[in-house]
Structures are given as structure tokens and as C-alpha cells.
Amino acid sequence: MEASRIKDLRLAERIDEGELAWLRYVTPITERCCGQIAQRDYRGKRFAYWGHITAQNSVSMMAALKQAGAEMVAGACNVDSTDDAAAAYLVSKGITVYGWQGMSQQEHRENLALVRSFEADYLCDMGGELSAAYLDKAPPVRGALEATTSGLHLLKNHRLPFPVFDWNSIPLKDLHNRYHVGDSVWPAFGHVTSLGLFGRRVLVVGCGPVGKGIAERARALGAIVQVADLDPIRLLEAQHLGCETVSLAEGLARCQVIVTATGVEGVMSQEYLRQVRPGAILFNAGHSNREIDIDWLFQQPRRRMKAHIERFDLGDTYLFLLAQGSLLNLAAGAGPYGIDLFDHYTAVMLMGIAWMFDGIPEDIGPGLQRYPASLEREIADLSVRIRNESQGGSLGFGR
């Protein structure tokens, strides 16, 4: 198996003990779970991770699993979301990593093949690509986790020979999608563009949990928010949130800021990109960096404006694309903001991995399955207890 492929191992020096201590302090749920997992015996467990490689959702989790004896490999699920210092730190601790910020699509595919060559028995996937790559393994993978709407769309097109536990659809993930993504997207937008939202017309494309959270937060920041969605029930809910509902074409013609949050690849096609209001700022908040047709877009005349902003001229109109169409709250150095907001998210992932290692019940068959409700409630209960215990703390975290 090929050695790690990362940007620069020397970047590991950027993560020192002080930063790790702070990370543990502001993510007490994950820290408590890591303490439990590190004491277990997971020797012989072979595990592959395909997700965002960042300090808040990789370093502590991977370290705990390795301390427990698990063999593992990690690959970046997105071409732009990797924290190169976090990737280097993991490699310095003996974990094989494939991924760096700014990969090409070809490099991304090569890294997926390298992760697949590990022959893991357990998977943790974001986007469905890793589970799809392991469909031909014999004997089959024992179990996998899936965290995204994009991944569920992909996996529903396949006959799965092993159970894939969907934690995208559980209430704790719904809370993360609705409240935490919205809280982190707009600070990233301000960081990249140096713009506020007051008085600006914002179009949110897709009003699932992520879209609702983004729309709510934008309204609180003074934006005039319009929502486009194919589901009339979601449109009605958007109206309850105080948003105007429009067709996609209407919103593109009116709005100065456009954000995709559908989980569906190709939703912002060439046809729609040509309809944007001149000078519109376009970015994505969904998992896939293909919600916007960047293949077509990058064939058009363009020029770099500043870090993470490119202008594209499209005949009668033009637009500014942020972070090359990757999810803005994590991609291209724009974040992360609110590391503590990922605390539940990482805990659900880590405890789901451990639950699979401990033995998936024999009555659970192949195919998409619900993440264990009892495990979700355990994590929620732990969260409530930790926060109640720490009410006297200056930040409300830790012990």
C-alpha cells in the first residue's frame, strides 16, 4: 500500500500541545467519548475513513482509535476541505492519510483507490464514494456509516451487500445541519468576501435542514432572504420562517448572493448559471463540490480576484464563485468557525464506529439502516450532563 500523500509533513508542527489542549477543552463531548474508546481493545479492527480531514473531526477521533489498537487509513472526501496541518499531524502519529487542500479531481480519484486498497472491514463515509468503492469486496465489509444527503442519493442506486448506517437522518445530525452549518457559513462568507449581509438579497437553493439554517441565520444578519425548492411543504415552512419563496429562475435574476444547499449534484446547471444577476456571488454549502456545474464554469473566461474568489464572464452576465464550489464553511481556508459546533457531530461518528467494532447485531441485514437510536440518545444525554456539570465554567465547556 502506497505511503501517505499529503501536502507537507512539516506542517504537523503547527499543531502543538497548547492547541490540542484547547481543542479538547471546547469539545468536551468528543473528549469524553475519546477517553472511553482509547481504553478499549480494538486490535485487528481494520477501518477506513473517507471524510473531511480537519482538526475538529479527525485528530482526536483518530488518535483514540489508534490508541485502542485499530488499523486505519484516512482519505479526504472533498478536494478543498482538508486542513493540511491536521493531515500532517495524523501522519506524524502513524496514521496513513491521502488528501490535501486543492487536489485535482484526478488526484481525488487516485486517493479513493488508495484507500480502497487497504481492504478495510469497517467504513466511515461522507458522500457514499467509499462505500461504493467497497461494493466488490469479498467477504463484504461488515458495516459502514454514512453522514450526508449526497451519499444517500448515491447509495440508493446500488445494491448494498453490507449494512450502511445512516446518521444523516437522525435528529442530532439534523440539529447540526440546521443550526451549526448556518452559524459557520456566514462568518466564512464574511471572511472571504469582506462583506456583510445587511440589506442584501440572498437566494437559498434547497430548504432542507442545511438550507433552513442558512436562511434563518441570513435573516438574523439583515438579509432579504428568498428560497427556492421543489417541495411545496418546504416552501411553506420557509414562509413561516419569514422568507419569500420564488422559482429558481426568479431568485437568480433578483439576488446578489446565491447559496446552494441541496445535496444534489448538478442542480446549478449551465442553463441556470447563465441566468444569474450580473455580479452575483455564488457559493455552495452542501457536501458535494458538484452542486454547481464547475466543469462547464471553469471552461468560461475567468480571473482570480483574491484568495477563494474567482470571476466568471458568461456572455450577458458574470458571477463571482467562492471556494471553487466546495462547501464554504470548511473549504479553502475559509474556516472552520465554531469548532465546538462539531462536538456532537464527531461524537456521533466516533461512537458509531466503536459500536460497529463491538459487534453489529446479527439481525441487521445489508442495505441502508438507521443509526442506532439508543446510541444517539446516549450521546445526547452525555451532552446535557456535561453542559449541566460545567455551568459554572467561564465558557460553559469542559470540567
What CATH number belongs to 9-172+337-389? 3.40.50.1480
Q: Which of 320, 263, 327 is nearest to 297 (CA)?
A: 320
Q: Which cell numbers hold the place of 131? A: 462505500
Q: Which cell numbers hold the place of 48? A: 477506513
Q: What is the per-residue pLDDT across 115-157, written as a single tens digit (0 to 9) for each?
A: 999 999 999 999 999 999 999 999 999 999 999 988 999 999 9
Q: What is the per-residue pLDDT across 251-278, written as a single tens digit (0 to 9) for each?
A: 999 999 999 999 888 999 999 999 999 9
Q: What is the per-residue pLDDT across 302-334, written as a single tens digit (0 to 9) for each?
A: 999 998 999 999 999 999 999 999 989 887 554
Sequence ranges of the domains in the chain: 9-172+337-389, 179-325
Query: What SS3 class is residue 284?
Result: strand
As to burial, measured by CB atoms within 10 angstroms (0-12 exposed, 13-18 middle, 19+ buried), residue 181 is buried
Distance from C-alpha of 382 to C-alpha of 387, rounded to nearest angstrom: 9
CB proximity list for 7: less than 8 A, separation 6 or greater = 84, 87, 88, 100, 101
Q: Which cell numbers hold the place of 275? A: 441566468
Q: Which cell numbers hold the place of 375? A: 446510541
Residues in the chain: 399
CB proximity list for 363: less than 8 A, separation 6 or greater = none
Could you give the percent of the chain with pLDDT greater than 70?
95
Domains 9-172+337-389 and 179-325 share a fold: yes
What's the pLDDT band for 389 if we cut at 50, 70, 90? confident
pLDDT at 2 > cutoff 90: no
Q: Which of 343, 391, 383 is nearest to 179 (CA)?
A: 343
For domain 179-325, the CATH class is alpha beta
What is the predicted pLDDT for the residue at 144? 98
pLDDT at 397 > cutoff 60: no
Do the bridges between strand 302-306 and strand 280-284 make them parallel or antiparallel, or are there none, so unpaired?
Answer: unpaired
What is the predicted pLDDT for the residue at 317? 97
As to burial, measured by CB atoms within 10 angstroms (0-12 exposed, 13-18 middle, 19+ buried), residue 72 is buried
